[in-house]
């Protein structure tokens, strides 16, 4: 029945079997993995023995700190047994050391409220909340409708009637609900980085069933956990390829750790979007906390302060020593970080020395050019959100959804042209509406350019 | 010592037995990693991490007869996590740069189609067509009726075919 597919899979196996195995390195990899596990076990034993006279609570927290993602700790298991509804979300959090520890330390608040509409039931299972943000666990099940035919259209957190957070998908998009294997049950988790405490919050969700969107809204109440942050003040400077940065401090709270750092305004290079994707913290036992790629951001558009959130928080792990490394930092010369276009003469007046832009065209009020990025570079990073005319007037380029009917908004698009690159196109403002003055400038927030130097910073 | 004895010893905490076992399966683990991650560095790191994870959870092995598959599954889970964390484009490019297999276009096509399957489907196909585990054994291991496994396997193959066809159409356009 599937002879062809089977044949292809067998061919694939054969070609992978042909790949040469680096035997020495492989042997070494096994040995070092084994050593790492042994060392950790020994450490764990000695620590627990030493503190056996301490209170059970402290012992429990210590134990947690040695649990990594793969196995579930006894503490965690007992929480699962004692908190109603928690078993549903286990698979969502056991990959995240920070969240697991939050549950183990009683930060999980079960909600277990459901709403049913046309055979589909949405449940707000529970939340983890601290002063800044919230992690929301929700699930969907149905006895009548096959979940894999449904799509999520939006997720929303409101305070009274006011939406506080919304994750929405455009008209033509939906997120497939993929039910858990062998069930008709879906569970999801949404981390909301910043949301103020609200007395009357509600969780909303839009689910597309065929042509119809079902809107769910579940009001709930929760306690704001009054916890102390375990912030670490660093105030250390670092130089990477001549560019100076200052690590200000680490904001450490139960669900999130954020690194605050500052770029020296006199640096010759500009930090690009996703500047700190490779930043990493390693503790004395080799445990690593990495950043969530793409999540580092500038606090103020014109400021020098950056915030880099980590994927997991180490709040409950209390590392003794912490070392920070940067990896590759996305940056380019400030003097080159833009493209200057004259729409009359239809040419690039200025662009970076090793330019990735070509084939400029101006036709019927539309400007377009090709952006060529290497295979190693994520083409999703390529974007322009505004252009600036000779009088510093800003025009915002809207590439998705509706373009606001305001005279400094124009439509734009980015498409992939096979074997050529990304084609970026935007409209010039309608002259009867508003005017602009040549040349126009597009500032670069992305570029395949990095700085890298082997530097380490002792945080703790 | 027979493999079963070794596994039993390893579960009891015998470190030499554990190391013997991992070393005897290190190549299988490496090939699984290569099949997912496509490059030597990442595959070696995967083997290291899986050794570490296996040692930590050795006590959870319930069926010593399926020890090898247990290891392979830890590896597959690990690789799937890595893939999710990195980006697909990056991975596809790695495939192209992989030596010795780059000329074979069929291979690329399969690789792309596999990326579009669910973790479960990919795991199933891997066990059946890469590790040559019998459907009967998968059924025992996963505590699922044989018929169900067969149905799911067919579903996975159908999804694969669908991906091939989709790809084919795109090329024609």
Record: contact B106-A8, CB cut-off 8 A: yes
CA distance B140 to chain A (A): 16
pLDDT at A50 over 70: no
- Residue A129 inside a domain? The answer is yes
Q: What percent of chain A has pLDDT over 70?
A: 88
* Shared domain check, B7 and B59: yes
- Residue A11 inside a domain? The answer is no
Mean pLDDT of B101-118: 66
pLDDT at A291 over 80: yes
Q: What is the pLDDT of residue A38?
A: 80
pLDDT band at A282 (very low <50, low <70, confident <90, very high): very high
Q: What is the pLDDT of residue A403?
A: 52
Q: What is the pLDDT of residue A45?
A: 55
User: Left, alpha or beta for A300 (phi > 0: left; psi -120 to 50: alpha)?
Assistant: beta
* Shared domain check, A92 and A78: yes
* Shared domain check, B77 and B141: no
- Residue B94 inside a domain? The answer is no
CB within 8 Å of B155: residues ≥ 6 apart: B121
Record: contact B34-A10, CB cut-off 8 A: no
Record: contact B50-A2, CB cut-off 8 A: no
Torsion of CA A180, A182, A185, A188, to 10 degrees: 0
Omega of the bond prior to A439 within 30 degrees of 0, cis?
A: yes
Q: What would the two tokens of residue A293 be? A: 């790629």
* Shared domain check, A246 and A260: yes
Given A199, A227, A255, the domain boundary residue is A227
CA-based angle A211:A216:A220, to the nearest 5?
170
Q: What is the pLDDT of residue A62?
A: 36
Q: What would the two tokens of residue A188 be? A: 């999801």
* Shared domain check, B151 and B117: yes
- Residue A14 inside a domain? The answer is no
- Residue B95 inside a domain? The answer is no
CATH number at residue A318: 2.60.40
Q: What is the pLDDT of residue B96?
A: 44
Q: Is the Cβ–Cβ distance between A124 and A111 less than 8 Å?
A: yes
- Residue B93 inside a domain? The answer is no
Distance CA A57, CA A268 (A): 51
Given A81, A106, A131, the domain boundary residue is A106
Record: contact B93-A375, CB cut-off 8 A: yes
Q: What would the two tokens of residue B5 be? A: 């004895």
* Shared domain check, A214 and A247: no
Poorest-confidence range of A319-323, A413-417, B23-27?
A413-417
Record: contact B89-A1, CB cut-off 8 A: no
pLDDT band at A236 (very low <50, low <70, confident <90, very high): very high
Q: Does B143 contact A at CB distance below 8 Å?
A: no
Q: What is the pLDDT of residue A114?
A: 93
Q: Which tops the pLDDT comparison, A239 or A54?
A: A239
Instruction: Identify which of A335, A346, A302 has the alpha carbon closest to the alpha carbon of residue A440.
Output: A346
Q: Which tops the pLDDT comparison, A79 or A141?
A: A141
Q: Which tops the pLDDT comparison, A176 or A258?
A: A258
* Shared domain check, B109 and B31: no
Q: What is the pLDDT of residue A323?
A: 93
- The dihedrals phi and psi of A86, each to the nearest 5 degrees, come to -70, -30
- How many domains is chain A partitioned into structurally? 4
Poorest-confidence range of A2-16, A133-147, A171-185?
A171-185
* Shared domain check, A316 and A259: yes
pLDDT at A381 over 90: no
Q: What is the pLDDT of residue A325?
A: 92
Mean pLDDT of A181-200: 80
Q: Is the Cβ–Cβ distance between B167 and B113 less than 8 Å?
A: yes
Given B86, B113, B135, the domain boundary residue is B86
Q: Does B59 contact A at CB distance below 8 Å?
A: no
pLDDT at A78 over 60: yes
Given B59, B86, B113, the domain boundary residue is B86
pLDDT band at A68 (very low <50, low <70, confident <90, very high): very low
* Shared domain check, A298 and A200: no
* Shared domain check, A430 and A364: yes
Q: Does B142 contact A at CB distance below 8 Å?
A: no
- The dihedrals phi and psi of A441, each to the nearest 5 degrees, come to -120, 135
CA distance B110 to chain A (A): 7
Record: contact A38-B15, CB cut-off 8 A: yes
Mean pLDDT of A371-394: 82
CATH number at residue B147: 1.10.10.10
- Residue A2 inside a domain? The answer is no
Residues of B in contact with A70 (CB under 8 A): 53, 56-57, 74
Distance CA A273, CA A295 (A): 9
pLDDT at A428 over 60: yes
Q: What is the pLDDT of residue A72?
A: 60
pLDDT band at A171 (very low <50, low <70, confident <90, very high): low
Q: What would the two tokens of residue A434 be? A: 């508003």
DSSP code for A419: T
* Shared domain check, A75 and A51: yes
pLDDT band at B92 (very low <50, low <70, confident <90, very high): very low
CA distance A389 to chain B (A): 35
Mean pLDDT of B72-87: 82
Average pLDDT, chain A: 81
Q: Does B140 contact A at CB distance below 8 Å?
A: no
Q: What is the pLDDT of residue B98?
A: 45
pLDDT at A47 over 70: no
Q: What would the two tokens of residue A45 be? A: 């034993």
pLDDT band at A360 (very low <50, low <70, confident <90, very high): very high
Q: What is the pLDDT of residue A435?
A: 83
- Residue A326 inside a domain? The answer is yes
- Residue A5 inside a domain? The answer is no
Record: contact B101-A37, CB cut-off 8 A: no
CA distance A79 to chain B (A): 20
Q: What would the two tokens of residue A72 be? A: 């579930």
- Residue B133 inside a domain? The answer is yes
Mean pLDDT of A81-99: 76
DSSP code for A223: P
Q: Which of B22, B55, B86, B103 to mutate to test the interface with A (most CBs of A within 10 A)?
A: B55
Record: contact B57-A71, CB cut-off 8 A: yes
CA-based angle A151:A154:A158, to the nearest 5?
145
Kindly give the interhelix angle for B146-172 and B135-142, rounded to the nearest 10 degrees. 110
Q: What is the pLDDT of residue B108?
A: 65
pLDDT at A90 over 80: no
- Residue B22 inside a domain? The answer is yes
Mean pLDDT of A85-104: 76
* Shared domain check, B69 and B3: yes
- Residue B96 inside a domain? The answer is no
- Residue A6 inside a domain? The answer is no
- Residue B69 inside a domain? The answer is yes
- How many domains is chain B partitioned into structurally? 2
Query: What predicted TM-score, i.e. pTM, was given to this entire model?
Result: 0.52
* Shared domain check, A356 and A385: yes
Q: Does B150 contact A at CB distance below 8 Å?
A: no
Q: What is the pLDDT of residue A194?
A: 75
pLDDT at A121 over 90: yes
pLDDT band at A74 (very low <50, low <70, confident <90, very high): confident
pLDDT band at B91 (very low <50, low <70, confident <90, very high): very low
* Shared domain check, B63 and B111: no
Q: Is the Cβ–Cβ distance between A343 and A440 less than 8 Å?
A: yes
Mean pLDDT of A332-355: 92
- Residue A21 inside a domain? The answer is no
Q: Which tops the pLDDT comparison, A451 or A181?
A: A451
* Shared domain check, A239 and A191: no
Q: Which tops the pLDDT comparison, A65 or A12?
A: A12
Distance CA A356, CA A358 (A): 7
Given A87, A106, A125, the domain boundary residue is A106
* Shared domain check, B55 and B133: no
Q: What would the two tokens of residue A179 be? A: 């039910």
* Shared domain check, B79 and B37: yes
- The boundaries of the domain holding residue A294 are 232-331+451-458
Distance CA A284, CA A377 (A): 33
Residues of A in contact with B101 (CB under 8 A): 15-16, 18-19
pLDDT in tens, B140-156: 888 889 999 999 999 99
> How many A/B residue pairs have CB atoms within 8 Å?
130
* Shared domain check, A186 and A116: yes
* Shared domain check, A201 and A264: no
- The boundaries of the domain holding residue B81 are 1-86
Poorest-confidence range of A87-96, A142-151, A260-269, B66-75?
A87-96
Q: Is the Cβ–Cβ distance between B67 and B54 less than 8 Å?
A: no
CA distance B37 to chain A (A): 12
Record: contact B89-A70, CB cut-off 8 A: no
Q: Which of B51, B114, B153 to mutate to test the interface with A (most CBs of A within 10 A)?
A: B51
Q: Is the Cβ–Cβ distance between A156 and A165 less than 8 Å?
A: yes
Q: Does B35 contact A at CB distance below 8 Å?
A: yes
* Shared domain check, B81 and B138: no
* Shared domain check, A252 and A283: yes
Q: What is the pLDDT of residue A169?
A: 65
Residues of B in contact with A380 (CB under 8 A): 87, 89
Average pLDDT, chain B: 80
CATH number at residue B58: 1.10.1740.10
Q: Is the Cβ–Cβ distance between B138 and B149 less than 8 Å?
A: yes
CA distance A378 to chain B (A): 7
Given B54, B86, B118, the domain boundary residue is B86
pLDDT at B1 over 70: no
Residues of A in contact with B158 (CB under 8 A): 2
Q: What is the pLDDT of residue B86?
A: 65
Q: Does B42 contact A at CB distance below 8 Å?
A: no
- Residue B153 inside a domain? The answer is yes
Q: What is the pLDDT of residue B106?
A: 53
């Amino acid at each position: 029945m599937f002879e062809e597919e089977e044949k292809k899979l067998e061919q694939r196996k054969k070609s992978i079997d042909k790949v040469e195995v680096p035997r020495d390195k492989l042997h070494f990899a096994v040995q070092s993995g084994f050593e790492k596990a042994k060392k950790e076990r020994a450490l764990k034993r000695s620590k627990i023995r030493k503190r056996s006279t301490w209170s059970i609570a402290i012992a429990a927290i210590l134990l947690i700190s040695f649990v990594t993602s793969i196995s579930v700790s006894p503490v965690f298991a007992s929480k699962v047994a004692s908190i109603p509804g928690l078993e549903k979300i286990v698979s969502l959090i056991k990959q995240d050391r920070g969240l697991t520890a939050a549950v183990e330390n009683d930060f999980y608040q079960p909600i277990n409220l459901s709403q049913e509409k046309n055979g589909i039931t949405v449940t707000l299972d529970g939340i983890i909340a601290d002063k800044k943000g919230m992690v929301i666990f929700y699930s969907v099940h149905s006895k009548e409708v096959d979940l894999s035919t449904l799509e999520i259209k939006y997720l929303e957190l409101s305070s009274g009637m006011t939406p506080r957070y919304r994750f929405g998908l455009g008209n033509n998009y939906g997120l497939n609900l993929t039910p858990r294997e062998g069930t008709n049950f879906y569970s999801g988790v949404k981390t909301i980085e910043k949301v103020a405490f609200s007395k009357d919050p509600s969780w909303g969700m839009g689910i597309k069933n065929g042509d119809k969107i079902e809107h769910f809204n579940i009001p709930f109440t929760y306690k704001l956990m009054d916890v102390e942050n375990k912030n670490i003040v660093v105030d250390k400077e670092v130089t990477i390829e001549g560019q100076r940065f200052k690590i200000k401090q680490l904001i450490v709270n139960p669900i999130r750790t954020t690194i605050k750092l500052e770029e020296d305004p006199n640096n010759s290079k500009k930090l690009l979007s996703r500047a700190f994707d490779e930043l990493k913290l390693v503790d004395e036992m080799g445990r690593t906390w990495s950043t969530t790629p793409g999540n580092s951001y500038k606090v103020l558009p014109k400021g020098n302060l950056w915030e880099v959130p980590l994927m997991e928080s180490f709040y409950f792990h209390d590392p003794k020593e912490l070392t920070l490394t940067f990896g590759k930092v996305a940056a380019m010369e400030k003097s080159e970080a833009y493209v200057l276009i004259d729409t009359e003469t239809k040419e690039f007046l200025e662009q970076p020395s090793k330019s990735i832009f070509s084939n400029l065209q101006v036709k019927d009020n539309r400007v377009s050019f090709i952006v060529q990025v290497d295979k190693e570079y994520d083409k999703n990073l390529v974007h322009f959100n505004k252009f600036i005319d000779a009088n510093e007037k800003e025009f915002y380029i809207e590439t998705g959804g509706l373009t606001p009917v305001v005279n400094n908004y124009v439509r734009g698009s980015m498409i992939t042209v096979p074997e050529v690159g990304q084609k970026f196109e935007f409209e010039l403002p309608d002259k009867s509406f508003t005017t602009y003055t040549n040349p126009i400038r597009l500032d670069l927030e992305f570029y395949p350019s990095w700085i890298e130097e082997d530097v380490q910073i002792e945080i703790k | 010592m027979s493999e079963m004895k070794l596994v039993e010893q390893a579960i009891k905490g015998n470190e030499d037995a554990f190391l013997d076992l991992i070393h005897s399966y290190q190549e299988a683990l490496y090939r699984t990693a290569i099949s997912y991650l496509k490059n030597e560095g990442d595959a070696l790191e995967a083997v290291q991490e899986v050794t570490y994870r296996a040692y930590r959870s050795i006590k959870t092995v319930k069926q010593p007869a399926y020890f090898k598959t247990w290891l392979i599954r830890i590896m597959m889970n690990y690789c799937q996590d890595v893939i999710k964390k990195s980006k697909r484009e990056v991975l596809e490019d790695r495939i192209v740069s992989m030596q010795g297999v780059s000329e074979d276009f069929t291979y690329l096509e399969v690789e792309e189609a596999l990326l579009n399957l669910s973790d479960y489907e990919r795991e199933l196909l891997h066990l059946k067509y890469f590790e040559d585990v019998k459907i009967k054994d998968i059924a025992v291991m996963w505590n699922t009726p044989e018929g169900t496994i067969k149905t799911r396997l067919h579903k996975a193959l159908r999804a694969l075919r669908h991906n091939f066809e989709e790809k084919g159409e795109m090329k024609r356009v």
